[in-house]
Amino acid sequence: MTAFSLNPEQTARCAQLRELAAERLRPLVEAHAKGEEGGVNRPLTEALGELGLLEGLFTSGALDLCLMRESLARVCTEAETALALQGLGAHPVHAYGSLEQREHWLPPTRAGRAIAAFALSEPGAGSDAAALALRAEPDGSAGWRLTGEKSWISNAPEADFYTVFARTSPDAGARGVTAFLVPADRAGLTGAPLDMLSPHPIGTLAFDGVRVFAADVLGDVDHGFRVAMTTLNRFRPSVGAFAVGMAQAALDAALAHTADRDAFGGKLKDLQAVSHQVAEMATRTEAARLLVYAAAAAYDRGEPDIAGRAAMAKLFATETAQFVVDTAVQLHGARALQRGHLLEHLYREVRAPRIYEGASEVQRAVIAKELYSKEPIA
């Protein structure tokens, strides 16, 4: 199989996932929206576990992960996001955790009973992850005490455990960061929700001398930046897949609306200005999809330039999704901005992926760095 085509089994799996999302997952989202509890939709996450989708986070290759996220996003963005956040928070445990850490935390995470979170960003360290200020101060021979804050953390403050990145060596930049697995009930750890334009909970975390030990370290001391970057490199192409799924949903809506809507003695699609816009939406969506698939396939093959390719995939796909959703709203007119309309939902949802897991500007910096690091062509 090339990076640019899917085999019949993969195509059938994507169709099955869309059907599951419509029949099993979207009703749980609608039921949750009618309640007053807000926050993490635990029944939805448990359903993802029951359907075996959370298991796929740890057993699938990067391309299969992209197909899963794209398929879910096309039908139920909330289910896609719940799945992705479990993967982002727990992948460091899967890839770098000790046997004891993996045996304790991964089974309930796969089942959807334990909610995971990835705690990297801070009030003063968003895009510049190497500038982390959360301190891990030595606490005798027993370990460290964490002091500081995290902000804009998805699933906070309701997660059951956090992958936390803290500075163990002052003034060492990226080389002085360590990753810790911190249970939510650890003394001194508190959090608060943020009121944000987001369909899933985002919050802050405060660490007031939270004790962590050698058994809580993920990977090696002072090598946590590698844990963060390898996790992000794995998930960045699939953020692009999430964006492609949203773009495809918006394109589907635009095709249906313009084919049905009466305008100027014909259908809206008969206007060249409209049909050309739809053609542009479709072309960009397909280009983004192929770039995402190619980056994911390169990751699965273990190619050396994955950082640049993952950055290209995330950059182009998220920017494309913003364009496609915005254009679909324009073609629909005022009805698309009514609360509850699919495009109103997508319009709110599509903005954040251009920021999280590395803003578009950061992706461009990564791409440029990779390009200039290569040997010049003679």
Q: Around Cβ 49, how many Cβ atoms within 10 Å?
A: 21
Residue with tokens 């060249």: 272
Which of 58, 53, 57, 54 shows the shortest CA–CA distance to 14?
53
Q: 3-state DSSP call for residue 8?
A: helix
Partnered with residue 283 across adjacent β-strands are none
For residues 257 and 18, give the distance between their C-alpha atoms in angstroms, rounded to a whole number.
Answer: 21
Distances from the Cα of 317 to the Cαs of 2, 36, 365, in angstroms? Answer: 20, 34, 16
Element (H, E) at 203: strand 202-213
Residue with tokens 């195509």: 11
Dig out the tokens for 68 from the structure: 């899963």
For residues 245 and 80, give the distance between their C-alpha atoms in angstroms, rounded to a whole number.
Answer: 10
Query: Catalytic annotation on 357?
Result: yes
Q: Around Cβ 270, how many Cβ atoms within 10 Å?
A: 13
DSSP letter (8 states) at residue 376: P
Indicate the angle between helix axes 224-260 and 77-96, nearest 10 degrees. Answer: 160
Write the CB contacts of 18 (distance below 8 Å, at least 6 apart in sequence): 71, 72, 74, 75
Task: Report the C-alpha dihedral over residues 251, 256, 258, 263, rounded to 10 degrees.
Answer: -160
> What's the residue count for the chain?
378
181 touches 102 (CB < 8 A): no
**Which one-letter amino acid corresponds to residue 24?**
R
DSSP letter (8 states) at residue 5: -
Q: Which of 78, 122, 349, 357 is catalytic?
A: 357
Partnered with residue 150 across adjacent β-strands are 205
Catalytically active residues, by annotation: 357
